[in-house]
């Protein structure tokens, strides 16, 4: 039977002399005092006092031998587990307690205080504490090594859309950045009509495709190529290619739906505008305000294309706007308003013969004198058999208006992030001009300003003051109000919709270790009282750490009975 007794206590009240130094002490089976036992036996001699752990600076993970990399926070339970497994000789002793001790943040050192127990003379159990130092060394993990080496990928996702602009890819890029779906990519390559994403494993590519399915009505196909084959162990190494097709239908495109599909959708159209694209495609009839949607399965069954895209839009000037008194069932719950308008092409102003009377869904924002973009249906030629069927049934509208043009816009206080594409893998379109890309990006940013529904899906980064002033945002509010009386200002992004770039970027390992003592590392806007409180808290924490490092060796078992 083993009984636990502190060295400072006495069960019987009488004292004995130590057999080595003669010091008066409570009796124990070894007949030695604590100092003599420590001089005779060191239970920590088999434990290594200094170890090395490896840290990857790219992905901020620690190596858990033999080959696993684990993401751990500083002084976390996971990191403590990795450190304890690295201590040689600890498995032969009984571990009682383990905890981190304070170290200077940039020293690249970790200190772990462990408390162990071992049986010494005649059943006496000695408990001792020691501090093990860990040196943090940098080493790239396997995944980060592959990211710097070409042709090491196992799966590639080829995202394609055959259209004349890049706005869809720009929007998908922002969604990917917001949801961090690019974190597992080894490389990103921009190609004609799309982007290629390279991954180290097939399951990572499948996870990426599952995300794209939630934001776009895609169609995917898979192919594989055998790289190596081990006949003895029957191991095959493949490279997988996933081809993802996005429908060539975008917002504001004019579409002539197939006659059968129009019947299935409640008699809409067939000449409609695409109002929104996500996992489904949404349409609106600009002459009746009837709205409908189709799934990706329905679209790929019919596989229709746009009749006219945004590059074929023409500028018109609104001469007059009159509301329609007779309401239909689609006008009651619609966010649009159906009106009758008189418009003329802006380059043909003054010619009364070219005035066109139309119905449009933009009645809530139109007024006489506004400039709008629309499709000149009557003067365009088509190579679409659905249009020929439509002409046999009814007359086509002469003009379909799409959006309003705002002559004056607010200075932008925000920016967008971009994916880090590999410049060595870049394969830009041969006939693409840099001005076209700039034009597409400008139009994409204008769409974000005009449509709050699009802004809510992505992250808009707040510009710093210098960049904001460079963009012309330092104008006085009075001047802006005076200008707005003459010209209508386009909708803008509110300050509460913007996010700090520092909040989105993951902090580096060095920034996680902030000691808070130096004034230049503290926000200047904090009050002096709060700064002093932080310093006092740190000093108290340091004093507590020093107390924990004191020697607390003790005898916890005094005798052993049979």
Q: 311-366: per-residue pLDDT in tens?
A: 889 999 999 999 887 776 677 666 788 999 999 998 887 777 789 999 999 998 89
| Structural domain contains residue 546 | no
Q: What is the pLDDT of residue 552?
A: 58
Adjacent-strand bridge partners of 244: 159, 220
**Is residue 211 domain-shared with residue 330, that is, in the same domain?**
no
CA angle 545, 546, 550 (to 5 degrees): 115
**Is residue 274 domain-shared with residue 309, that is, in the same domain?**
yes
CA distance linking residue 291 with residue 360, whole number of Å: 14
| Structural domain contains residue 481 | no
**Is residue 99 domain-shared with residue 160, that is, in the same domain?**
no
| Structural domain contains residue 345 | yes
Residue 93 CB-density burial (10 A; 0-12 exposed, 13-18 middle, 19+ buried): middle
CA distance linking residue 368 with residue 499, whole number of Å: 38
| Structural domain contains residue 92 | yes
| Structural domain contains residue 349 | yes
Q: Which domain holds residue 359?
A: 254-405
**Is residue 24 domain-shared with residue 125, that is, in the same domain?**
yes
pLDDT in tens, the chain (562 residues): 333 434 444 444 678 888 778 788 887 777 778 778 776 777 777 888 899 999 998 888 999 888 889 888 888 888 999 999 888 888 888 888 889 988 887 888 999 998 888 877 777 777 888 899 999 999 988 878 876 776 678 899 999 999 988 899 999 999 999 999 988 888 899 888 899 999 988 999 999 999 999 999 999 999 999 888 878 888 888 899 999 999 999 999 999 888 889 888 888 878 899 999 999 999 999 988 899 999 999 999 998 888 888 888 999 999 999 988 777 667 766 678 899 999 999 888 777 778 999 999 999 889 999 999 999 988 887 766 667 666 655 678 889 999 999 877 777 888 898 888 765 555 555 556 677 888 889 999 989 888 888 889 998 888 876 555 555 554 444 444 455 445 677 788 888 888 887 776 644 333 333 333 333 333 444 456 666 666 677 677 666 666 655 555 565 544 444 3
Q: What is the DSSP string of 465-532?
A: HHHHHHTTTT--HHHHHHHHHHSPBPP---GGGEE-HHHHSPPPHHHH-----SGGGS-TTS-HHHHH
N residues, the chain:
562
**Is residue 163 domain-shared with residue 120, that is, in the same domain?**
no
The pTM for the full model equals 0.67
Residues 23 and 16: beta-carbon distance below 8 Å: no
The domain boundary, picked from 245, 269, 288, lies at 245
How many domains, the chain?
3
**Is residue 309 domain-shared with residue 172, that is, in the same domain?**
no
The domain boundary, picked from 199, 215, 245, lies at 245
| Structural domain contains residue 437 | no
**Is residue 165 domain-shared with residue 230, that is, in the same domain?**
yes
**Is residue 128 domain-shared with residue 216, that is, in the same domain?**
no
**Is residue 320 domain-shared with residue 192, that is, in the same domain?**
no
Q: What's the token pair of residue 91? A: 């498995």
| Structural domain contains residue 523 | no
**Is residue 265 domain-shared with residue 397, that is, in the same domain?**
yes
Predicted confidence (pLDDT) per residue in 529-539, tens digit: 666 666 677 67
| Structural domain contains residue 77 | yes
Per-residue burial over 330-344, b if 16 or more Cβ lie within 10 Å, else e, is bbeebebbbbebebb
**Is residue 127 domain-shared with residue 159, that is, in the same domain?**
no
Q: What's the token pair of residue 135? A: 């040196």
The domain boundary, picked from 405, 439, 455, lies at 405
DSSP 265: T
**Is residue 231 domain-shared with residue 270, that is, in the same domain?**
no
Q: What is the DSSP string of 173-207?
A: HHHHHHTTTTTTEEEEEEETTEEEEEESSHHHHHH
């Amino acid at each position: 039977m083993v009984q636990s007794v502190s060295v400072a206590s006495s069960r019987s009240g009488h004292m004995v002399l130590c057999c080595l130094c003669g010091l008066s002490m409570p009796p124990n089976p070894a007949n030695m005092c604590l100092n003599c036992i420590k001089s005779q036996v060191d239970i920590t001699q088999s434990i290594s006092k200094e170890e090395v752990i490896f840290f990857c600076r790219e992905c901020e993970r620690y190596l858990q031998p033999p080959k696993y990399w684990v993401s751990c926070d500083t002084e976390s339970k996971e990191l403590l587990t990795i450190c304890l497994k690295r201590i040689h000789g600890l498995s032969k002793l009984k571990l009682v307690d383990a905890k981190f001790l304070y170290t200077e943040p940039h020293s690249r050192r970790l200190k772990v205080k462990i408390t162990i127990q071992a049986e010494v003379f005649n059943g006496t159990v000695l408990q001792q504490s020691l501090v093990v130092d860990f040196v943090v060394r940098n080493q790239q993990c396997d995944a980060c090594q592959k990211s710097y080496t070409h042709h090491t990928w196992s799966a590639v996702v080829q995202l394609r859309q055959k259209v004349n602009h890049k706005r869809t890819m720009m929007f998908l890029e922002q969604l990917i950045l917001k949801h961090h779906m690019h974190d597992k990519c080894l490389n990103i390559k921009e190609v004609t009509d799309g982007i290629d994403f390279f991954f180290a494993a097939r399951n990572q590519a499948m996870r990426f495709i599952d995300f794209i399915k939630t934001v776009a009505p895609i169609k995917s196909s898979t192919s594989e190529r055998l790289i190596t084959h081990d006949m003895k162990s029957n191991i095959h190494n493949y490279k997988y290619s996933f081809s993802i097709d996005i429908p060539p239908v975008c917002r504001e495109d004019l579409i002539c739906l197939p006659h059968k599909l129009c019947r299935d959708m409640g008699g809409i159209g067939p000449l409609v505008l695409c109002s929104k694209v996500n996992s489904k495609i949404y349409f609106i009839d600009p002459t009746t305000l009837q709205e409908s949607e189709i799934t990706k399965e329905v679209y790929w069954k019919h596989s229709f294309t746009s009749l006219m895209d945004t590059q074929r839009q023409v500028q018109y000037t609104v001469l007059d706007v009159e509301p329609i008194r007779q309401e239909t069932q689609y006008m009651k719950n619609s966010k649009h308003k159906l009106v009758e308008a008189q418009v003329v092409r802006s380059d043909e102003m003054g010619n009364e013969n070219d005035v066109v009377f139309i119905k449009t869904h933009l009645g809530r924002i139109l007024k006489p004198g506004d400039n709008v973009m629309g499709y000149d249906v009557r003067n365009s030629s088509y190579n679409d058999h659905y249009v020929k069927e439509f002409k046999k049934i009814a007359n086509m509208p002469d003009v379909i208006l799409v959006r309003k043009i705002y002559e004056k816009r607010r200075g932008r206080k925000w920016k967008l992030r971009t994916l880090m594409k590999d410049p060595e893998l870049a394969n830009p379109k041969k006939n693409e001009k840099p001005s076209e890309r700039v034009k597409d990006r400008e139009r994409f940013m204008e769409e974000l300003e005009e449509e709050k529904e699009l802004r809510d899906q992505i992250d808009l980064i707040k510009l710093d003051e210098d960049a904001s002033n460079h963009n012309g945002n330092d104008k006085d509010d009075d001047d802006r109000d005076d200008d707005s009386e003459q010209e209508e200002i386009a909708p803008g992004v509110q300050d509460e919709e913007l996010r700090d770039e520092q909040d989105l970027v993951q902090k580096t390992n060095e920034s996680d270790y902030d000691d808070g003592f130096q004034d230049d590392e503290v926000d200047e806007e904090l009050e002096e009282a709060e700064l002093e409180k932080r310093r006092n808290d740190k000093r108290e924490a340091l004093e507590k750490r020093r107390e924990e490092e004191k020697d607390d060796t003790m005898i916890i078992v005094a005798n052993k009975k049979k």
